[in-house]
A and B are shown apart, each in its own frame.
Chain A
């Protein structure tokens, strides 16, 4: 008898609590913006970034170690999803109640997220940070409407990575800093043999923007990619021709976003060349042997190649609880001392011009430095449009049809344009 009464009371209690919870959730589910100040774990700043396997973890650990070298009081922890999911998750994370203080951006993909980012100009002034030491092209890419939103830490231009052994075996001279597109195609043809391709094509907009930049044409403006620009068409057409006409590259196939068939191919010896940011140099050296990897400028029509600067930066979220501390941290991580330290273990090119010497000493050879100097010295300014990630997704999906011959390049660009207009 009594047991039944107890059952009832405890059940009623559960019922009330649950109903209250229901109401709370229901009411709050519709309300607006994210939480109050946060992003700090005690004294440690939290950073949200792309974290896949060991290589990614090592990179961030190195940058943090570099920052601590420059400023021993700095304390930063990091977490995040694999790179394929990073940009899709970033807005939800920034809006959430556990938003971090620091976030990272590649290739200046800052635009879609400025609503959640703290503009840095005031902090720069208050902290008297000298911005002239940083690559101006990078600073531009990390700014929106003349407001700076992130401090750059690496600023690798995209280069051609090539397999020296394959070039030697094919009897092809190594690329010079003035090589033309025709010479590039010839080299690719010579190294395409025995089931190995001369060149590996990457997905998305990067190869196109790089090729366009080499001839001095920006691929986008603040409103969006210049899909109607004949140079855009020609760049994509060149990639398609490399696969279908010159037969020096594997045609692109449908693939999930965030995969890198070109890196896979080059690092496993399936292709003699790839177009990649310098951040991949270390991985390539580990896979193919340090002596075996060479870098070259991007081939251009007239032999006077201009660089396409990519790279990454650290930003501060609007919801960060201690923005001054956050600024000090990113300033430390991008300081000369910090970046010099990083060059001891990471091969990506620092975004500071005064760290290039440390980079040459620790990573590169004189020939590398020459390439870098040309690419960074004479770069085509390339603003990153706000719909960059949609552009990449749509291009990755639709360019496959150009490679399979189902559509012309013009039709593919029309499809991309239609998709972006949504």
Chain B
């Protein structure tokens, strides 16, 4: 499925040489296009119908299933809030929320920081800069299954990484035998795979900062850090907002890396919410319970996204 993006919720248009509010403010403005109103409906209908049928309805169905004890081979029986009550007593589920929360709290800031740093670095003069961009983007373009296979080979007890450590005299690290290290590996692989995309977007954001602004600040005597915090960051904040929201959503839904590299182990130290959902639905055949998990995940993501949307007014700077 494709990436999702968040744009300004209010639907305003800014910037560029033409400013045109697309919602009538105060007295109604003349529409740029005439014609009967249903024309608009005609154009939006395919997308809308598809959205409703394939995205909204399944989400609603998932919500409904969460109130039943549906199994795949058996029938369905309405059980009310029982699944949700069970969720909050389920140590495996609570643990998966903890694991995913740790993942999000470590991965998202690291991702944004690295992407921004790399984007800024690639703004400086480097030979073959556009080729570097391609190289950093490659992992984002290959299937997770492929990446995971390589990383398993590399991080095994006697894999290449530990052998390299031994070569420089360090003790081997139990990458995949120790819960904390395993989670670190999963986070590491995720970072490796995905910062390239964010780097490109932030780079474009940086590119759009007018050089005159930078030059002016230099003339005014602003040092490098001052420039960074007062000029660059605010001007790139729309792009930062975009990437942060996407990255947070993706982080809460982490599945493939955990599934293919560690299977949730050791113990359940890498069992993310999505992986637990998958196991519950397809290994344990408990569809109803799995749907309840899905709903809770949606609520968590919605809370985080709304929080960011609200915070947008505080720190995102639109010109």
List residues of chain A with CB under 8 Å of any chain B CB. 4, 7-8, 11-12, 14-15, 18-19, 21-22, 25-26, 29-30, 32-33, 87-89, 91-92, 94-95, 112-113, 115-116, 250-257, 389-390, 393, 396-398, 400-401, 403-404, 406-407, 415, 418-419, 422
Instruction: Considering the complex, give the chain B residue whose CB is closest to the CB of A419.
Output: B92
A residues near B91, Cβ cutoff 8 Å: 418
B178 to chain A, nearest CB (A): 6
Kindly identify which residue among B43, B57, B285 contacts A112, using a CB–CB cutoff of 8 Å: B285
**Are A400's CB and B266's CB within 8 A?**
yes
B42 to chain A, nearest CB (A): 4
Q: How many residues does chain B have at the interface if contact means C-beta atoms less than 8 Å apart? A: 52
- 6 example contacts (A-B, Cβ-Cβ < 8 A) are as follows A7-B42, A11-B42, A25-B57, A253-B156, A254-B262, A397-B264
**Interface pick from B67-75, B130-138, B217-225:** B67-75
**Interface pick from B5-13, B18-26, B44-52, B96-104:** B44-52
B residues near A404, Cβ cutoff 8 Å: 174, 177-178, 266
- Provide the bound-state CA to CA distance between A389 and B157, in Å: 27
B residues near A251, Cβ cutoff 8 Å: 157, 177
**Are A256's CB and B261's CB within 8 A?**
yes
Which of B51-89 touch A at CB < 8 Å? 52-53, 57-58, 61, 64, 72-76
B263 at the interface (CB under 8 A from A): yes
**Interface pick from B120-128, B206-214, B234-242, B276-284:** B276-284
Instruction: Considering the complex, give the chain B residue whose CB is closest to the CB of A17.
Output: B49
B202 at the interface (CB under 8 A from A): no
A21 to chain B, nearest CB (A): 7
Kindly identify which residue among B61, B72, B264 contacts A30, using a CB–CB cutoff of 8 Å: B61
Kindly identify which residue among A12, A32, A400 contacts B267, using a CB–CB cutoff of 8 Å: A400
Kindly identify which residue among B58, B73, B75, B177 contacts A116, using a CB–CB cutoff of 8 Å: B73
Best-surrounded residue of A252, A256, A401 (most CB of chain B within 10 A): A256
**Are B76's CB and A396's CB within 8 A?**
no
B179 at the interface (CB under 8 A from A): yes
List residues of chain B with CB under 8 Å of any chain A CB. 35, 38-39, 42-43, 45-46, 49-50, 52-53, 57-58, 61, 64, 72-76, 90-92, 148, 152, 156-158, 174-179, 182, 259-268, 270-271, 279, 282-285
* Given known contacts A254-B177, A393-B283, A113 and B92 CB-to-CB distance under 8 angstroms: no
B169 to chain A, nearest CB (A): 19
Across chains A and B, the number of contacting residue pairs, with CB separation under 8 Å, is 135
**Are A398's CB and B285's CB within 8 A?**
no
A residues near B176, Cβ cutoff 8 Å: 253-255, 400
Best-surrounded residue of B39, B72, B176 (most CB of chain A within 10 A): B72
B residues near A115, Cβ cutoff 8 Å: 73-74
**Are A89's CB and B64's CB within 8 A?**
no
B residues near A14, Cβ cutoff 8 Å: 45-46
Kindly identify which residue among B156, B177, B283 contacts A88, using a CB–CB cutoff of 8 Å: B283
B residues near A398, Cβ cutoff 8 Å: 265-268
Instruction: Considering the complex, give the chain A residue whose CB is closest to the CB of B266.
Output: A400
- Provide the bound-state CA to CA distance between A253 and B284, in Å: 23
* Given known contacts A32-B76, A397-B263, A404-B178, A253 and B45 CB-to-CB distance under 8 angstroms: no
**Are A422's CB and B92's CB within 8 A?**
yes
A93 to chain B, nearest CB (A): 10
**Are B263's CB and A401's CB within 8 A?**
no
B144 to chain A, nearest CB (A): 12
A315 to chain B, nearest CB (A): 13
Instruction: Considering the complex, give the chain B residue whose CB is closest to the CB of A12.
Output: B42
B residues near A396, Cβ cutoff 8 Å: 263, 265
Kindly identify which residue among B49, B148, B182, B259 contacts A18, using a CB–CB cutoff of 8 Å: B49
A residues near B43, Cβ cutoff 8 Å: 11
Closest A-B pairs by Cβ, 5 of them:
A400-B266, A397-B265, A11-B42, A253-B176, A254-B265
**Are B46's CB and A18's CB within 8 A?**
yes
* Given known contacts A29-B57, A30-B64, A255-B265, A401 and B179 CB-to-CB distance under 8 angstroms: yes
B residues near A389, Cβ cutoff 8 Å: 283
**Are B73's CB and A403's CB within 8 A?**
no
A residues near B72, Cβ cutoff 8 Å: 91-92, 95
A residues near B178, Cβ cutoff 8 Å: 404, 406
Best-surrounded residue of B42, B175, B182, B259 (most CB of chain A within 10 A): B42
A388 to chain B, nearest CB (A): 11
Instruction: Considering the complex, give the chain A residue whose CB is closest to the CB of B50.
Output: A18
* Given known contacts A255-B262, A398-B267, A18 and B282 CB-to-CB distance under 8 angstroms: no
* Given known contacts A29-B61, A95-B72, A393-B283, A21 and B53 CB-to-CB distance under 8 angstroms: yes
**Are A91's CB and B73's CB within 8 A?**
yes
B274 to chain A, nearest CB (A): 14
B residues near A419, Cβ cutoff 8 Å: 92
A269 to chain B, nearest CB (A): 14
Instruction: Considering the complex, give the chain B residue whose CB is closest to the CB of A395.
Output: B265
B residues near A8, Cβ cutoff 8 Å: 38-39, 42
Instruction: Considering the complex, give the chain A residue whose CB is closest to the CB of B279.
Output: A393
B residues near A393, Cβ cutoff 8 Å: 263, 279, 283
A residues near B268, Cβ cutoff 8 Å: 397-398
B residues near A253, Cβ cutoff 8 Å: 156-157, 174-177, 266
**Are B265's CB and A18's CB within 8 A?**
no
- Provide the bound-state CA to CA distance between A62 and B126, in Å: 60
Instruction: Considering the complex, give the chain A residue whose CB is closest to the CB of B46.
Output: A14
- Provide the bound-state CA to CA distance between A401 and B182, in Å: 12
A293 to chain B, nearest CB (A): 24
A81 to chain B, nearest CB (A): 11
Instruction: Considering the complex, give the chain B residue whose CB is closest to the CB of A94.
Output: B73
Contacts A15-B42, A115-B74, A250-B158 aside, 7 further interface pairs with beta carbons under 8 A come to A18-B45, A19-B49, A21-B53, A251-B157, A254-B182, A256-B259, A400-B267
- Provide the bound-state CA to CA distance between A120 and B76, in Å: 27
